Chain A
């Protein structure tokens, strides 16, 4: 199972990197691919893990003095991602969702 998490961080570049690092830490050790600069596809074993990651992301976003927005897709059990991505991101995404 997998979902896509996209972020918008209204801050300067240095803070954006720091905040992104904090947001990424919310995924823990679950496999993920950075599909775009501020968008990740994350593979999880089930809905309970997805719910708890969602909670951590929202808490982390709200805790920042800057405006941080988070958008998550529903949890998906199948399907293909489409788009234009860096080659390594596209390859990694295929592997990740193939296994999911």
Chain B
């Protein structure tokens, strides 16, 4: 079974969970891997944030919840242990073979929000974001809704990294060629000016 494109995966498993008004506004699409944001000097990061304080808290809680879920679920799933680190991403990449992803796609039901494709992609996105924040402390979460539209943001380079989109792309056709670990390492190099 050939894996679908990342856009098709997003449209099937994620798009249906976006609020109707987002669909009407044409705002439901798979985000790019990263974006460089135009932010005039002195402008507060808040201008990039479209959520209310309550919405921000809710999205932040979900992102934190999915990172916690990855910490709890991955040791049994991937055989990892200890504190999460790049080795966890490497184990995830090793586990997510084309055959395993195809098998998941056969049984995953998009009408269930707790289907394995959405859950694992969100765990991977949240964990990757958490690792980036720890490796490059200048970064912060820029949360959005649904929570998988959240990104990690670096104010110095004004770069927004859409880590959840990385995870969706990892499960799509050609995903194994751009492993999560490689994306993580490339991002750190970029942020450190390498």
Residues of A within 8 A of B (CB): 26, 28-30, 44, 46-56
Q: Are A56 and B113 in contact (CB under 8 A)?
A: yes
Candidates A29, A46, A51, A56; contact of B65 at CB < 8 Å? A51
Contacts of A51 in B (CB 8 A): 62, 65-66, 68-69, 119
Q: Are A55 and B113 in contact (CB under 8 A)?
A: yes
Contacts of A56 in B (CB 8 A): 113-114
Interface residues of B in 99-113 (CB under 8 A from A): 109, 111-113
* B120 CB-CB contact with A under 8 Å: yes
A47 to B76, CA, bound (A): 11
* B152 CB-CB contact with A under 8 Å: no
Given A26-B113, A48-B66, A49-B119, output 8 extra A-B contacts at Cβ < 8 Å. Answer: A46-B73, A48-B123, A50-B69, A51-B62, A52-B119, A52-B122, A55-B62, A55-B113
Residues of B within 8 A of A (CB): 62, 65-66, 68-70, 72-73, 76-77, 109, 111-115, 118-120, 122-123
Counting chain B CB atoms within 10 Å of each CB, the highest count among A50, A52, A53 belongs to A52
Contacts A29-B109, A48-B120, A48-B122 known; A53 to B114 CB distance under 8 Å?
yes
Contacts of A52 in B (CB 8 A): 113-114, 118-119, 122
In whole Å, how far is B93's beta carbon from the nearest beta carbon of chain A? 18
Candidates A44, A46, A47, A53; contact of B113 at CB < 8 Å? A53
A50 to B123, CA, bound (A): 12
**10 A–B contact pairs at CB < 8 A?**
A26-B113, A28-B112, A28-B113, A46-B72, A46-B77, A48-B70, A48-B122, A49-B114, A51-B65, A55-B62
A50 to B109, CA, bound (A): 16
A49 to B115, CA, bound (A): 7
In whole Å, how far is B142's beta carbon from the nearest beta carbon of chain A? 20
A93 to B51, CA, bound (A): 41
Contacts of B122 in A (CB 8 A): 48, 52
Contacts of B123 in A (CB 8 A): 48
Contacts of B118 in A (CB 8 A): 52
Q: Are B72 and A47 in contact (CB under 8 A)?
A: yes
Which of chain A's residues has its CB closest to B119's CB? A48
In whole Å, how far is A43's beta carbon from the nearest beta carbon of chain B? 12
Candidates B72, B73, B76, B112; contact of A29 at CB < 8 Å? B112
Contacts of A44 in B (CB 8 A): 114
Q: Are B73 and A47 in contact (CB under 8 A)?
A: yes
A26 to B109, CA, bound (A): 13
In whole Å, how far is A77's beta carbon from the nearest beta carbon of chain B? 10
Which of chain A's residues has its CB closest to B76's CB? A46
Contacts of B65 in A (CB 8 A): 51, 54
A96 to B129, CA, bound (A): 35
Q: Are B114 and A28 in contact (CB under 8 A)?
A: yes
